[in-house]
A = this chain, B = another copy of it.
Amino acid sequence: MDAAVTAAFDLRSWSAAHLDRVESALSRWVVAEAPAGLGDAMRYAVLDGGKRLRPLLVLAGAEAVGGNVQAALRAACAVELIHAYSLVHDDMPCMDNDVLRRGKPTVHVQFGQARALLAGDALQALAFELLAPDDEGIPAGVQARLVRLLARAAGHEGMAGGQAIDLASVGLALTEDQLRHMHRLKTGALLQGSVLMGAACGSADAQAQDALRRYGAAVGLAFQVVDDILDVIADSATLGKTAGKDAQQDKPTYVSLLGLDRSRAYAGELLAQALDALAASGLRDTRALDALARMVVDRDN
């Protein structure tokens, strides 16, 4: 790593600067003018909330490869729209039936189920629309790569597939392999996809691609392990969503399978895997990716 980039890295100020751009872009692209209250529901689902972990992973991945800045901003927002739509649908009565999200009533509570369903659908379409602009000089090859990565991460081989497994697993005793498979799809695919989309905004060689794939897989799984831990040890106010929900819904989790101590050890092991992958990437500046991996494991909400 160059001397210039080994200076102490301040994730807080790095994130603040990048999130300013993300929030302002989301507010510009998710327009209130969408018909019949649809825009209001879409904005409610997306703006002013969430850790924005996925956009930060996109932007950190793009920085590591010196990627196209405008493409990375669009990719960051697109991933967040997919995440936001999945929460809207996941909270609906026919799915998790949750009424509290990010400390606010969920979208279907606020806008009704029909509008929540449509807002989620429209957010998914908008995510792909953002990736294929016709006026900003983003190379078509980059656009197509981003669409490919996002569609795979969001679809039946990724997030939606994982949700289907989750749904079918309530009340079942999964093995650790089955639990890992579910989470690799349900949460891991989109988190890993975020890193890879960032890298797709520039040019990463095969070694770097492979390293970022391993980094994304480890961070994605670590995120879920920590989520399972927090669901047990944190309260609803800190989480901004209903705590203790997993046990209440009889969902298999790392804590229920491994216990709290071994779950924490596993999260630490995944963090080590992520950092090892970065070290082997050959990329010049992976400080943001490094700091984000640590944050995922050390967070308290």
Contacts and interface: CB of A to CB of B under 8 A. Distances in A.
Residue from A115, A139, A151 whose CB has the most chain B CB atoms within 10 Å? A151
Interface residues of A, number: 58
Copies of the polypeptide in the assembly: 2
Residue from A131, A144, A152 whose CB has the most chain B CB atoms within 10 Å? A144
A129 to B, nearest CB: 4
Contacts of A113: 94
A161 B124 contact: no
Interface string A32-60: 00111111001000000000000000000
Nearest to A133: B148
A148 B127 CA distance: 11
A147 interface: yes
Q: Which secondary structure characterizes the binding site on chain A?
A: helix
A128 B151 contact: yes
A151 B126 contact: yes
A156 B38 contact: yes
Contacts of A156: 31, 34-35, 38-39, 42, 122, 125-126
A129 B155 contact: yes
Interface of A: 31, 34-39, 42, 85-86, 89, 92, 94-95, 112-115, 117-118, 120-122, 124-126, 128-129, 131-134, 139-141, 143-145, 147-148, 150-152, 154-158, 160-165, 167-169, 185
